[in-house]
Amino acid sequence: MSEGKRIGIVGATGAVGRELMELLEARDFPVAELRLLASARSVGKELTFRGESIAIKEARPEEFAGLDYLFLSAGGDRSLAMAPAAVEAGAVVIDNSSAFRMDDEVPLVVPEVNPEALLNHKGIIANPNCSTAITLMGVAPLHQRFGLKRMICSTYQAVSGAGATGITELEDGVRAWSEGKDANPSTFPHPIAFNLIPHVDKFLESGYTKEEVKMRNESRKILSLPSLPVSCTCVRVPVFRAHAISIFAEFEKPVDVAEARAAVAAFDGAELVDDPTNLEYPMPLGYSSKVACGVGRIRRDEALENGLAFWVVGDQLWKGAALNALQIAEHLVR
Amino acid sequence: MSEGKRIGIVGATGAVGRELMELLEARDFPVAELRLLASARSVGKELTFRGESIAIKEARPEEFAGLDYLFLSAGGDRSLAMAPAAVEAGAVVIDNSSAFRMDDEVPLVVPEVNPEALLNHKGIIANPNCSTAITLMGVAPLHQRFGLKRMICSTYQAVSGAGATGITELEDGVRAWSEGKDANPSTFPHPIAFNLIPHVDKFLESGYTKEEVKMRNESRKILSLPSLPVSCTCVRVPVFRAHAISIFAEFEKPVDVAEARAAVAAFDGAELVDDPTNLEYPMPLGYSSKVACGVGRIRRDEALENGLAFWVVGDQLWKGAALNALQIAEHLVR
């Protein structure tokens, strides 16, 4: 790769920030300097990168000077507040929040799906919603082959989507159950252990959640299909960190299952796991800390014309967040 | 109700059999005699009904003499072997297996949906697949109001669907996790704790599972819509005993969400739980040992013409099995 880059992470102590540090190291990203930034209450803590301790500083515009890339992963409000200053300071911002995703001036990118969108950025690049990025790793190869016409999704979303406290809340809930006590949820609106919560992100007046609307709007933007019909129901499930999505998709051209499988197998970042005879299909337990998203259960959809039904699984913290953000930076430094 | 009936249960020691005994008692079914039948290895055990101990006998045709109703809940092979003898002996068989469900001579009944089918039975009545029965508790009121045209479902199925060993396998899996050990699955093909298994019942050559085909075929028969397009992906989730289904349905007539809610609220056996503002929607934790199925998240579907998206939850062991079977008998004794 190229010469070392000066990298900043806002939200370094969060679940996504920590995965990003791990991936920067594991994937040998050319880091000349790493600045870890967070809210005032994390100042004084230290985190280790490549064997060296780095003190966390408060995320303030002064800290952005000289940065090549700034990863923002501290929520939409902080992204809105900080991104312009970082761009002003000369950094390219890769933003993990929803703040800029639907901004016409901001590319929204899954590098395997629409890398061409990176050519025209103006300093800010948006990282998609986790469910959307993972869903599209299965949908995109089929869209390229058959032409996507309509998409219907039900998600099975891991607790890591709510950050580190989502993970501890599931652990605590299971512990409470084993001790015969009541769960005491604070991150999720209801107990998540041994339960399903059909509610991710805020409700809108339409009865949809923001998460469900993101799936529609972000899929349309990333696939350059601005009027694609998309329906989605998002559900939180008691799984730690890989999301799964049950997808029914209608295509322009006649579909063929063998061709669909070949298209998935050939797609960078997707992994075909589709051998029912040997009970092989992707599952969350196999997709924690994994780069590829798994695609399986591919079969002819019986209710849609030229339809395929399939199932996609991917690491919410990696392809759904930190990995995709880093892959954007990797594309830019190439 | 009417005079006491002589009741037999084959599969009395299984998860469904035990729930059936509980429901016979709790719902004051007019039982004059209860015969508990099971495989040879359960002979000698006793179970309590209305405070009295009943010895389990081996399920053999001789034991069917004089029975008014025989509930069969010991798998398809035993149902095929025993149902004719029971009918011969004068009993009405209510069969919980899939053995007779698609037999043209056998009514397949959800009493709130198609009670008229009970009028023409010839001694055997089939109880539907658990996911199908629960799904239809949400679909039927909307079908009656708007005319169902197409249905696309993703299931979230509890471990109780695999019987009592499914429940212990989830418990054991969670215990193994808390002790840092590997799970050791035998009922399910893979570990179920903190995982999702997109595979319920056997795979067919089409790539669909039998469970997915049951959803299509049984829905068509119960709703009297023999060519209804149905797509379904069935997924096992780490939840104890309530199934959930994410449904996208297309209708003949224009839909209206307020009317849809009213139709669900007015439907016997369904319960409208649909108040996003107050974070109310049905969830598995609230639907164990509950008669009604919960229906919520009702909203306009954005990818289907005249479409509605919604979410149904119901007790797999009750509406999905024992309760529906007992409700069939309740209808017959009225």
Chain A positions in Cβ-Cβ contact with residue B279 (cut-off 8 Å): 189-190, 199
Contact criterion met (CB below 8 Å) for B200 and B155: yes
A123 and A141 within one domain: no
Give the pLDDT confidence of A56-77 residue by residue, as tens digits.
999 999 999 999 999 999 999 9
Distance from CA of A200 to the nearest CA of B (A): 11
A159 token code pair: 């607790």
Average of per-residue pLDDT values in chain A: 97
B155 and B112 within one domain: no
A181 and A113 within one domain: no
What CATH number has the domain bearing residue A232? Answer: 3.30.360.10
What CATH number has the domain bearing residue A89? Answer: 3.40.50.720
Q: Pick from B235, B302, B307: which is nearest to A246 by CB?
A: B235
The string of DSSP codes covering A243-310 is EEEEEEEEESSPP-HHHHHHHHHTSTTEEE--BGGGTB---GGG-TT-SSEEEEEEEE-SSSTTEEEE
Q: Is residue A291 very low, low, confident or very high in pLDDT (cuts 50, 70, 90)? A: very high
CA nearest neighbour of A34 among A7, A74, A69: A7
Mutate to test the interface with A, among B281, B302, B308 (most CBs of A within 10 A): B302
Q: Pick from B194, B229, B303: which is nearest to A239 by CB?
A: B194
B166 and B23 within one domain: no
Task: Based on the residue annotation, tell me whether B243 is a catalytic residue of this protein.
Answer: yes
A213 and A121 within one domain: no
Q: Does B173 have pLDDT greater than 90? A: yes
A326 and A242 within one domain: no
Distance from CA of B195 to the nearest CA of A (A): 6
- Interface confidence: ipTM more than 0.95: yes
Q: Rounded mean pLDDT of A88-104?
A: 97
Distance from CA of B291 to the nearest CA of A (A): 18
Which chain A residue lies closest to B178 (C-alpha atoms)? A175
Distance from CA of A304 to the nearest CA of B (A): 8
B295 and B185 within one domain: yes
Q: Is residue B1 very low, low, confident or very high in pLDDT (cuts 50, 70, 90)? A: very low
Mutate to test the interface with A, among B148, B151, B152 (most CBs of A within 10 A): B152
Check CB contact under 8 Å for B239 and A196: yes
Domain that includes residue A48, residue range: 5-127+321-333
- The pLDDT score that the predictor gives to residue A2 is 56
> Parallel, antiparallel, or unpaired for β A5-10 and A31-38?
parallel
User: The tokens 């580190």 sit on which residue?
Assistant: A164
Give the Cα separation of A268 and A287 in Å (integer): 16
Active site residues of A: 130, 243
Check CB contact under 8 Å for A237 and B199: no
Q: Pick from B156, B207, B300: which is nearest to A276 by CB?
A: B207
Which chain B residue lies closest to A228 (C-alpha atoms)? B303
CA distances from A124 to A30, A92, A330 (A): 20, 6, 15
The string of DSSP codes covering B67-107 is -SEEEE-S-HHHHHHHHHHHHHTTPEEEE-SSSSTT-TTS-
Q: Rounded mean pLDDT of B213-224?
A: 98
Average of per-residue pLDDT values in chain B: 97
Q: Is residue A258 very low, low, confident or very high in pLDDT (cuts 50, 70, 90)? A: very high
Give the pLDDT confidence of A204-229 residue by residue, as tens digits.
999 999 999 999 999 999 999 999 99
Q: Does B61 have pLDDT greater than 90? A: yes
Catalytic residue chosen out of the listed positions B153, B232, B234, B243: B243
How many structural domains is chain B composed of? Answer: 2
Catalytic residue chosen out of the listed positions B121, B130, B143, B153: B130
- The pLDDT score that the predictor gives to residue B11 is 96
A119 and A36 within one domain: yes
Q: Is residue B199 very low, low, confident or very high in pLDDT (cuts 50, 70, 90)? A: very high
Q: Is residue B3 very low, low, confident or very high in pLDDT (cuts 50, 70, 90)? A: confident
Strand segments (E) across chain B: 5-10, 31-38, 46-49, 52-55, 57-58, 69-72, 92-95, 124-126, 148-156, 230-233, 242-251, 270-272, 293-300, 307-315
Task: Give the annotated binding-site residues of A for phosphate.
Answer: 101
B310 and B164 within one domain: yes
Give the pLDDT confidence of B237-286 residue by residue, as tens digits.
999 999 999 999 999 999 999 999 999 999 999 999 999 999 999 999 99
B222 and B179 within one domain: yes
> Parallel, antiparallel, or unpaired for β A242-251 and A307-315?
antiparallel
Chain A positions in Cβ-Cβ contact with residue B281 (cut-off 8 Å): 198-199
Chain A positions in Cβ-Cβ contact with residue B276 (cut-off 8 Å): 199, 203, 207
Give the Cα separation of B20 and B10 in Å (integer): 11
B239 and B150 within one domain: yes
- The pLDDT score that the predictor gives to residue A1 is 44
Q: Pick from A150, A156, A233: which is nearest to B297 by CB?
A: A233
B183 and B266 within one domain: yes
**Could you tell me how many CB contacts below 8 A there are between chain A and chain B?**
171
Q: Rounded mean pLDDT of B65-79?
A: 96
- What share of chain A has pLDDT > 90, as a percent? 98
Q: Does B2 have pLDDT greater than 70? A: no
Contact criterion met (CB below 8 Å) for B319 and B295: no
Mutate to test the interface with A, among B194, B256, B287 (most CBs of A within 10 A): B194
Q: Is residue A84 very low, low, confident or very high in pLDDT (cuts 50, 70, 90)? A: very high
Distance from CA of B284 to the nearest CA of A (A): 6
Strand segments (E) across A25-90: 31-38, 46-49, 52-55, 57-58, 69-72
